[in-house]
């Protein structure tokens, strides 16, 4: 009941504004279990009020969605488990978040088109559902995190029409459900992929996401390649190859950033950087999953001394060939879809190959000394691949 009370304070926004913190303070004192939530939401209200005197502005209607996510969204999904729980959370937060934006719309927000309201409410629901599943400090992470994600994408940007947007939503969720049913991704990874899918398509287009999708499909498929042999060597992916959200974000964060930047600035620089980063993710995954099954003895990339299969920084000729194949596949797909010309193919091939070997170099140095995790290595490798692609764009 206390959590519902916190959610209902959003009804006070049009009348009390920042003074809604008084109602939150009363609930804070009455019920110990919702104190972190009340304090987190009070902080967001005060932040929104304080930023009005600066060049930045945190709209009150975004804070309103942050009130909905950890209250009504969390309560509605409580009876469900796994992915169903997250989808119920997403649906509840999106619907009530949409209504909350309309309810708290000020003069500045009154001109928001339905597409933008739906986009922001969906982002709030997706990020809230993801953080609710992945975080142990939900009453802080969910309201603060979902608000920051919505705020990040609250700038003016042309969105598809409502019918087209609904089709993209269905496409993204169906892909996520398919990955979950095929045991290629867990619930957190599915939510991560849906967020990435929506943002890449909205800002750059469907063909950009198809390149990322090809990485997901190839990576999932080749993870199962000679899986029994990898298990015997104790180098197989854990959980039968089911991907988690850390793997998704470490490989997709740089491509996502390039897609958003392309949508904002429209420069081909970001096309080449995107190709280099996706080719690195694809080439590295194939090099690992295929190269580990090679009959030849792996050699450390820094010293060329023989090492056991699965050792960070170990490379084989088969793995290098797999890297070239993955990078080339990304480049050919980009040319086939009209996303880039043959210069883009070169960016994918060069960026993917160099990025994959940079991954191995980081594995042999920083990862082996526990300065970076495997996910950290993936993130920096895709960034390196993007820089290679961008450098090639500057040359041509």
Please write the tens of the pLDDT for every residue from 344-391.
Answer: 999 999 999 999 999 999 999 999 888 989 899 999 999 999 999 999
- Are 17 and 60 in contact, with CB atoms under 8 Å apart? yes
Distant-in-sequence, close-in-space partners of 333: CB < 8 Å, separation ≥ 6: 210, 211, 214
Please write the tens of the pLDDT for every residue from 163-203.
Answer: 899 899 999 999 988 888 887 788 888 888 999 999 999 99
| Separation CA 351–CA 361 (nearest Å) | 15
The DSSP line for 38-70 is HHHHHHHHHHHHHGGGSS----HHHHHHHHHII
Is pLDDT larger for residue 237 or for residue 174?
Answer: 174
- Are 48 and 65 in contact, with CB atoms under 8 Å apart? no
Binned at pLDDT 50, 70 and 90, residue 229 comes out as low
How far CA 196 is from CA of 164, 206, 312, 349, in Å, comes to: 17, 12, 28, 24
Domain ranges of the chain: 1-159, 207-396
How far CA 296 is from CA of 235, 314, 315, 323, in Å, comes to: 16, 12, 10, 16
**Average pLDDT of the residues in 99-122:** 81
Helix then strand then coil, in percent of the chain rounded to 5, is 75, 0, 20
Q: pTM to 2 decimals? A: 0.87
């Amino acid at each position: 009941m206390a959590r519902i009370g916190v959610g209902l304070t959003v009804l006070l926004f049009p009348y009390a504004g920042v003074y809604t913190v008084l109602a939150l303070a009363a609930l804070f004192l009455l019920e110990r279990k919702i104190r972190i939530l009340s304090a987190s939401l009070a902080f967001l209200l005060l932040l929104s009020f304080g930023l009005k005197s600066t060049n930045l502005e945190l709209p009150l209607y975004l804070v309103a969605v942050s009130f909905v996510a950890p209250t009504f969204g969390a309560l509605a999904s409580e009876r469900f488990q796994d992915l169903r729980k997250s989808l119920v959370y997403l649906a509840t937060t999106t619907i009530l978040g949409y209504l909350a934006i309309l309810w708290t719309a000020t003069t500045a927000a009154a001109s928001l088109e339905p597409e933008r309201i739906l986009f922001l409410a969906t982002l709030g629901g997706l990020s809230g559902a993801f953080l609710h599943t992945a975080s142990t400090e939900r009453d802080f992470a969910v309201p603060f995190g979902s608000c920051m994600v919505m705020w990040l994408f609250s700038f003016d940007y042309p969105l598809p029409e409502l019918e087209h947007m609904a089709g993209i939503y269905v496409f993204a969720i169906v892909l996520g459900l398919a990955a979950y049913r095929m045991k290629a991704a867990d619930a957190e990874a599915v939510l991560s992929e849906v967020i990435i899918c929506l943002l890449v398509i909205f800002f750059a287009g469907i063909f950009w996401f198809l390149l990322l999708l090809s990485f997901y499909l190839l990576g999932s498929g080749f993870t199962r390649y000679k899986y029994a042999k990898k298990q015997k060597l104790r180098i197989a992916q854990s959980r039968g190859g089911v991907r988690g959200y850390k793997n998704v974000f470490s490989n997709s964060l740089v491509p996502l950033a390039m897609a958003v930047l392309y949508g904002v600035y429209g420069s081909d620089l970001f096309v080449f950087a995107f190709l280099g980063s996706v080719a690195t993710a694809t080439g590295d995954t194939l090099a690992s999953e295929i190269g580990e099954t090679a009959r030849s003895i792996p050699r450390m990339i820094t010293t060329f001394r023989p090492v056991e299969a699965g050792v960070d920084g170990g490379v084989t000729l088969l793995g290098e060939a797999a890297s070239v194949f993955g990078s080339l596949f990304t480049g050919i797909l980009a040319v086939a879809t009209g996303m880039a010309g043959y210069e883009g193919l070169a960016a994918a091939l060069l960026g993917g190959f160099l990025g994959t070997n940079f991954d191995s170099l980081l594995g042999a140095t920083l990862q082996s000394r526990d300065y970076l995790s495997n996910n950290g290595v993936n993130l920096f490798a895709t960034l390196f691949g993007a820089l290679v692609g961008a450098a090639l764009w500057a040359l041509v």
